[in-house]
Amino acid sequence: MPAPPREFLTFTLAGEEYGIDILKVQEIRGYDAVTRIPNAPDFVRGVINLRGTIVPVVDLRTKFRLPDARYDEFTAMIVVNAARRVVGVVVDGVCDVAPLARDEIHIAPEFGGAIDGRFLTGIGTRDGRMLILLDIEGLLGSTEFGLTATYGADAPINQESPTCHASP
């Protein structure tokens, strides 16, 4: 008996289709304004309050060094549970859920040193479409992504932080 297909939530960034494991997705939201965090990496848009949980929001366009985009009514935030934290991921738009059989998922090609392929699960092909499949768990959990120590839900709270004081 063949293995059941894996399901990927597909989304667009700079005209290309990407996919992440649907089991990592908590919810899909429209893009809301975020609270900016001083000195955060440029790909960290800020944080939102999601039903009492402070959630860091990252822009994959910026992280992947893609051209800047105008946020519009199609811009979406995919809230994922990955690397033991909840993170909002800003994308150009959400497409659909694509079930991919094992033979529709191909090993990502080697790019040498030009492209960091560590966070690619593979390339999916279906109905003439190519999907760049991301290892969202590995990507958001990587130390270079910067969320682990600084912005994760388990980060210590500093009550004495000057950013906690409001201007008079």
Residue 130 near residue 35 (C-beta atoms within 8 A): no
At 37-61, the pLDDT tens digits run: 999 998 999 999 999 999 999 999 9
CATH number for the domain spanning 44: value is 2.40.50.180
Task: Confirm whether 74 is domain-assigned.
Answer: yes
**Per-residue pLDDT, 145:** 59
Q: Is 60 exceeded by the pLDDT of residue 159?
A: no
Region 89-117: mean pLDDT is: 83
Task: Confirm whether 100 is domain-assigned.
Answer: yes
Q: Is 50 exceeded by the pLDDT of residue 149?
A: no
Task: Confirm whether 160 is domain-assigned.
Answer: yes
Three-state DSSP class for residue 94: strand
CA 139 to centroid of chain Cα atoms: 8
Mean pLDDT of the chain: 82
Query: What 8-state DSSP symbol labels residue 109?
Result: P
Task: Confirm whether 126 is domain-assigned.
Answer: yes
Structure tokens of 130? Answer: 């190519």
Which pTM does this prediction carry? 0.80
**Per-residue pLDDT, 124:** 95
Dmax over Cα atoms in the chain, in whole Å?
A: 68
Residue 7 near residue 97 (C-beta atoms within 8 A): yes
**Per-residue pLDDT, 129:** 87
Domain that holds residue 114: 6-164
Q: Is 50 exceeded by the pLDDT of residue 100?
A: yes
Domain count, the chain: 1
Task: Confirm whether 103 is domain-assigned.
Answer: yes
Phi and psi angles of residue 122, each rounded to the nearest 5 degrees, phi first: 165, -165
Higher pLDDT: 89 or 168? It is 89
Task: Confirm whether 17 is domain-assigned.
Answer: yes
Q: Is 60 exceeded by the pLDDT of residue 72?
A: yes
Task: Confirm whether 1 is domain-assigned.
Answer: no
